Structure 1
Amino acid sequence: MPLGKHKRDEVPALKPYNTGLTIEEVRVAYQPAHIAKLGSNENPFGPSPKAVEAMNALGSSIALYPSFPLHEDYATTMGATVEHVVIGDDFSIPLDALIEAAGRAKMLIFSNPMNPVGVWLGIDAFRRLISSLSTNTRLVVDEAYFEYAALEEDFPSALEELKGSGLNWLVLRTLSKAYGLAGLRIGYGIASSPDFKSYLDRARTPLNVNAADQAAAIAAIADEDHVRAGVRYIRSERQRLMQKLTESGFKVASSAGNFLFIDAGQLSDTVAAELLTTGTIVKPWRQQGFRDFIRVSIGKAEDNDKFVAEFLASSGKGE
C-alpha cells in the first residue's frame, strides 16, 4: 500500500543507517577460521569486570520501570495537534466519536485494551473502526497488554484483523508487562509493509536497543511456560480483586490488562497518599473527570490483600 500524502518529504531523502557486519554474519557467510573485528572502533579488552558484575546484580529488578514517556509527547514535538476521545461514564469506548475523530486524523493511536481503564474494543467494533479509516490515516495499535487480553472471548488480534486491510498500520507490543522486562524498556513493532518499515527505520535512532536488552528479550520470549503461568495468575487475581471491590460497593471498570481502574469515591491523591503511609503504592489519576480514580496493578496475592484491607479501611468500609 502506498504511504499516501502524509509521508514527510524529508524522510525518503535519508539514507538507511549502515551498522556494519556482525561477527555472526561474517561467520555464517564465510566460515573463516578466525575473525578479526576491526570495523567499528570497539574496545578489544571489553568492559571492566566490575561493570559486568553490576549488570548481573540487577537480577529481577529489571522488572521495574525507571521512567515512561507518552505517545502524545512525541507527536506534539513534531508539531501535531493531539485530539483525545474520552471514555463514557460507564467506561464504554465511544466508537462513533472515535470513528469521527479518526476521519480528521493523519494518525490514529489506539490502545487495545486501553490504559488506564482496561476496557477494549471487541472484534465487531474493531472491524467497524478499521473499515471506516482512510488509507491516508496511519493506524497505530498499542497492544501492550495483548498477552492478558488474548484470552478474552471477543478480543481481536490487531495483526490478524489488519491483514489485507489496505491500510498503513503499525502494531506495537512490549516485553514490559507479561514478560517482566519493564526496566529494560524493550518492545517491538510490526508494520504493514516493507516500505512503511523502511521509512520508520530511517527516522528512528539507529542501534536504539542495546545488546543486553536483546539477549534478555530473546530468552524471555522463548520461555513460554513462564509467561503463560504469570498470565493465568494475574487474570485469576484480577477477577478476585474486582469481586471483592465491587461487593464492597466500589465502581470498577472491566479490565483485560494487569490492572484495575477504581472509583475511590474521593480525591485520588488523598487516597494514594494515605496508602503510601503503610507502604502501598498505587497510581492516582489526575485527568479531568477522573480525579477520584486510582489505577491498581495486580500483584501477588499477599500484596493484593494488603491493598484491599488498607483501601477499605481508608474508605470507612473496612471490618
Structure 2
Amino acid sequence: MKWKDQLLNLTAYQPGKTIDEVKKQFNLEKIVKLASNENPFGSSAKVKEALEKVDGSFALYPDGYATSLRFALADFLKVAPEQLVLGNGSDEIILMISRALLRPGLNTVMASHTFGQYKHNAIVDGAEAREIPLTSDGNHDLEAMLSAIDENTSVVWLCSPNNPTGTYITEEKLLNFLKAVPKDVLVVLDEAYYEYVVAEDYYDAIKLVNQFENLIVLRTFSKIYGLASMRVGYGIANKELVTTLEPIREPFNVNTLGQIATETALKDQEFVESCKQKNREGMELFYDFCKEHDLTYYPSQTNFILIDFKVDGNEVFQHFMENGYIVRSGVPLNFPTSVRITVGSKEQNEGLLKVMSQFLEEKKAAVL
C-alpha cells in the first residue's frame, strides 16, 4: 500500500471507556460519566417531541443543504444563510479546513495544549504543526503565535474557551491579534463552549466575522444543547470564504434527524439558559473544593474544570473510575498530573466531591 508516510506513526482517536465497560470491569451498578463534556441535563424536551413525530421515511437522503436548519440558524445568529457551513459535528469542519488549506510546505499555528484534532489533521495533510506553549495561567500566548507566523503559514487555530484548560481570550487581546494576522492566513476561532461563557470581557464573534474576512468561527450543538449523538456543528464566516470551502463538504453530511433535532433545540433558549446557570453553580462547588484543599485549577468558562492533583493523572482517573466516576486523565492532554472533570448535575457533583475527598485523604495518610 502506498500510505502517506505521516500516517504510519499516527494513532486514531481513542475514546474513553464506555459506561457498560466500566460497570463490568469493576462490578458496579451505577456509573457517572463526567469525561467528555456532555450536558448532564440532556437536551430540550421539545427535541424528543419533534423526533417522535418523524414519519420514519429513512430511505431518502437528507436535505444536502440543510435548508430549514440553515435558515433558522441564520435568523437566530442574524447572519446570511450563505455565511454558514454545516458539518457532521464541528470536527468535520476542522477536517474540511485542513484539507482545503494545508499541504506539505505549509505550516499551521496552534497552542500546544489545545484540542488535538487541529494537529492531527495537519499531520494527515502533511503540513508542519507549530505548537506554541500556553502562558503560565493557561491562556493562548498570542504574541508568540504571531511571531510563529511566516509566509508559509496557512491556518491559525484559536480555541476560546480552550479545551482542556477552560480559559478564554479577551475581546481586546483577540481584536489586536486579528488586526496583526496577515490577510492571507485563515484564523479559526473554535467556540464549542461559547454558550457557557459568563466572562464580561468576552468578544462578539459574529461582529468579528463581519469585520475580518480571514476569520471563521466554529460552534456546535454537541455541548450545551445536549445533542452530541446527532453530530451537528457549524461555521460562520463571510460568504466568499464559505463558498470556497463548501466544495470540500461531503454530500448529505448532516443527517435528517440531526437537522430536525438541532433546529428544534435552537428554539428552546430557556433550556440553554437553565443549563448555563446550573453549570455555573456546579463549577463554584469545584472552585470551593479546590480552594479548601489547596488544589491548583484553571478558572473555566466551559462545562469542565482541569484540576492538578500533583500526582499521576492516570492514578487519579483510575481511583475515580473504581468508585463509579469516569473523568478524563490529563496525561494524554499534556497535563500529566491533572484530570479534566465535566461539571455534572448537583447530585453527580456532590458524589464526585466525596470521592475526591477520599482520594486526597488516602494520599495524605500514605505520606504520614
What TM-score results when the alignment is normalised by the length of structure 2?
A: 0.65
Identity of aligned residues (%): 26
Shift of 1:73: 2.2
Shift of 1:69: 7.9
Task: Evaluate the alpha carbon distance shift between residue 156 and residue 241 of structure 1 in structure 2; reply closer, same or farther with a 3 A threshold.
Answer: same
Runs of 4+ in 1 over 6 A off after TM superposition: none
Task: Evaluate the alpha carbon distance shift between residue 283 and residue 164 of structure 1 in structure 2; reply closer, same or farther with a 3 A threshold.
Answer: same
Shift of 1:79: 1.5
1:130 maps to 178
Tell me the distance in 1 between the aligned counterparts of 2:58 and 2:161.
41
Aligned length: 253
Q: 1:108 aligns with which of 140, 147, 156?
A: 156
Shift of 1:287: 4.5
Tell me the distance in 1 between the aligned counterparts of 2:58 and 2:155.
43
1:316 maps to 361
Contact 1:246 1:252 in 2 (8 A): no
| Letter aligned with residue 262 of structure 2 | A
- Report whether the alignment pairs 1:174 with 2:217: no
The Cα offsets for residues 67-124 of structure 1, whole Å up to 9 and x where unpaired, read as x982332222222111112213332332211221245621001111100000111111
Contact 1:191 1:197 in 2 (8 A): yes
- Report whether the alignment pairs 1:254 with 2:299: yes
**What secondary structure, in the 3-state scheme, does the structure 2 residue paired with 1:83 have?**
strand
Contact 1:103 1:133 in 2 (8 A): no
Task: Evaluate the alpha carbon distance shift between residue 99 and residue 69 of structure 1 in structure 2; reply closer, same or farther with a 3 A threshold.
Answer: closer
Shift of 1:277: 0.6
Q: 2:232 aligns with which of 174, 177, 186?
A: 186
Which of structures 1 and 2 has the bigger CA Rg?
A: 1
2:122 maps to 75
- Report whether the alignment pairs 1:118 with 2:163: no
Task: Evaluate the alpha carbon distance shift between residue 208 and residue 309 of structure 1 in structure 2; reply closer, same or farther with a 3 A threshold.
Answer: same
The Cα offsets for residues 154-180 of structure 1, whole Å up to 9 and x where unpaired, read as 111222234223x32211000011100
| Letter aligned with residue 125 of structure 1 | K
1:53 maps to none
| Structure 2 portions without partners, runs of 5+ | 1-55, 60-114
1:89 maps to 136
The Cα offsets for residues 118-175 of structure 1, whole Å up to 9 and x where unpaired, read as 01111111111111100110111000011111x311111222234223x322110000
Contact 2:164 2:333 in 1 (8 A): no
Tell me the distance in 1 between the aligned counterparts of 2:144 and 2:167.
16
- Report whether the alignment pairs 1:268 with 2:313: yes
The Cα offsets for residues 27-56 of structure 1, whole Å up to 9 and x where unpaired, read as xxxxxxxxxxxxxxxxxx9459xxxxxxxx
Tell me the distance in 1 between the aligned counterparts of 2:181 and 2:127.
19
- Report whether the alignment pairs 1:285 with 2:355: no
2:268 maps to 223
Q: 2:285 aligns with which of 233, 236, 240?
A: 240
Most deviating of 302-311 and 288-297: 288-297
Task: Evaluate the alpha carbon distance shift between residue 243 and residue 204 of structure 1 in structure 2; reply closer, same or farther with a 3 A threshold.
Answer: same
| Letter aligned with residue 209 of structure 1 | V
The root-mean-square deviation of aligned C-alpha atoms, in Å, is 2.2
Tell me the distance in 1 between the aligned counterparts of 2:171 and 2:150.
20
- Report whether the alignment pairs 1:144 with 2:192: yes
1:19 maps to none
1:154 maps to 201
- Report whether the alignment pairs 1:209 with 2:209: no
Higher helix share: 2
What TM-score results when the alignment is normalised by the length of structure 1?
A: 0.74
| Structure 1 portions without partners, runs of 5+ | 1-44, 49-67
